[in-house]
Structure 1
Amino acid sequence: MMKLLIANKNYSSWSMRPWLVLTHFEIPFQEELLLLNGEGWKEAMLARSPSGKVPVLIDGELAIVETLAIIEYLAERFAHKPIWPVDREARALARAASAEMHAGFMKLRGAAPMNLRASHPGRVALDDVADDLARVEALWGGLLERSGGPYLCGAFSAVDAMFAPLATRLRTYDLPVSDMAAEYVEAIYALPAFQSWLADALKEPWIVADDEIDVIQGRGEPETL
């Protein structure tokens, strides 16, 4: 059985993405949690991950790093499952949007870290993330108008897994979005696979100080959290 190495579910946006794909499409796998904090956590990560990062998909002797590479591997290995949209044009748009998510939205990702346990309305300076929010609206709006929703290409697919962590940021920091975007966030939260991840995240006892907004914004020291 395949194994997915992940980090803390409360914080690890990249771990969430392939986990949602595996879980939603009912692909059997085991998960192994590698903590992002505690004594020797970096050494433990390097011992299990070729890149020293997560996620990592292990299939036999093969260890695949990088979220998009993992998703593409799953899409090929389980070609009978619609991990990417079946329609060729929709699939191309989904891959383009996923690549943009992988490489972009850096200001939003930096200013509003994923933190599923938290609620921090008003803590993100809107001027800092305005361009990224505008691009999210345009990208989501175009895909949803074309597909009719509720997910970006109609049914849930890999592109929604790629954007799920960003959707949580909009809710955690109560960022201003259109009704269309808000409805899409609701659709992500309603997904059973996401609900399962969220339930686990809310039970986690660990605090990763460097991923908390107080530390990121310089309003506190790591040891005080």
Structure 2
Amino acid sequence: MKLLIGNRNYSTWSLRPWLVLRHFDIPFEDEVLQLSGPGWRETIAARSPTGKVPLLLDGALAVPETIAIIEYLADSFPDKAIWPRGRRERALARAAAAEMHAGFSALRTHAPMNLRASHPGKVDLDAVRRDLARVEALWGEHLARSGGPYLFGEFTAADAMFAPLATRLRTYELPVSDTAGAYVEAIYALPAFQEWLALALQEPWIVDDDEIDVIQGRVAPGTLV
């Protein structure tokens, strides 16, 4: 299997299935398709039917979309417990993943993932307050039930879905409870995440659309190095 991904520093959707593949020790290779530079959209469109990453290639099969990739992996490797084993917990984990897939738009918009950066105080808290409250409630509910350190005890696809959001809380030093803070630390402590992070920190590329200083007008596009 091969996973086509975007820049590790910025690509939230690529991080999610990559974590599942690496954490559950599923053999695969990856290839980075840059999300900036001359002709980058055309390059991805030539490889991906949706013109987006991630894309999982398994023989002649091409699976786009993060949740579809995760479900394909769960079906292909039922012994891996990619989703929780229990029917009730599995339903709750899928619901949480779906909410992450469709929601938290304010955090996505105002606090783009940027693993190399530290930008405390640059996010308008009023703009993300509702999302922060919801993530506190959701994480708090599942962590209280499972006892942690992950949402359903052991790491599952639900945690992979929320990993990019966890990085946003650290990058922008957003105010969260001790419970949420401990969950962020658990995500960062995951060996698979540490591997991704180390590779992200080595990337030289800049994607202006995901740099908050460019988004907020403090820095002109094309000038970050």
Q: C-alpha offsets along residues 79-108 of structure 1, whole Å, 9 cap, x if unaligned?
A: 111000001111110000000000000001
Partners of 2:178 and 2:221 lie apart in 1 by: 36
Q: Show CA shifts across 1:66-90 (max 9, x none).
A: 1000000000000111000001111
Q: Secondary structure at the match of 1:57?
A: strand
Partner of 2:42: 43
For the residue of structure 2 that corresponds to 1:223, the secondary structure is coil
Tell me which amino acid in the other structure corresponds to 1:20: L
Residue 75 of structure 1 pairs with residue 79 of structure 2: no
- 1:175 paired residue number: 174
Moved more, 32-41 or 156-165: 32-41
Distance in 2 between residues matched to 1:61 and 1:185, nearest whole Å = 37
Determine the C-alpha separation between the residues in 2 that align with 1:119 and 1:24.
26
Provide the alpha-carbon RMSD of the alignment.
0.6
Unmatched runs of 5 consecutive residues or more in structure 2 = none
- Distance in 2 between residues matched to 1:16 and 1:196, nearest whole Å: 11
The answer for the alignment partner of 1:191 in structure 2 is 190
Q: What's the CA shift for 1:209?
A: 1.2
Structure-1 residue corresponding to 2:62: 63
CA–CA distance in structure 1, aligned partners of residues 123 and 53 of structure 2: 26
Partner letter of residue 161 of structure 2?
Answer: M
Partners of 1:61 and 1:166 in 2: how far apart? 33
What are the equivalent positions in structure 2 for 1:148-163 lying under 5 Å apart?
148-163=147-162
Q: What is the SS of the residue equivalent to 1:222?
A: coil
Aligned partner letter, 1:163 = F
Give 4+ residue runs of structure 1 displaced > 4 Å after superposition: none
Which residue number corresponds to residue 94 of structure 1? Answer: 93
Distance of 2:14 and 2:87 partners within structure 1: 27
Q: Aligned partners of 1:205, 1:108: CA distance in 2, in Å?
A: 25
Aligned counterparts of 2:190 and 2:130: Cα–Cα separation in 1: 28
Aligned-partner Cα distance in 2 for 1:75–1:107: 30
Shift of 1:220: 2.5
Q: Say which SS state the counterpart of residue 155 (structure 2) adopts.
A: coil
- Number of matched pairs: 224
Looking at structure 1, the residues matched to 52 and 22 of structure 2 have their Cα atoms a distance apart, in angstroms, of 21
State the distance in 1 between where 2:140 and 2:85 align: 20
Report deviation, 1:57.
0.4
Deviation for aligned residue 1:221: 2.1
Q: Percent identity?
A: 73
Q: AA paired with 1:57? A: L
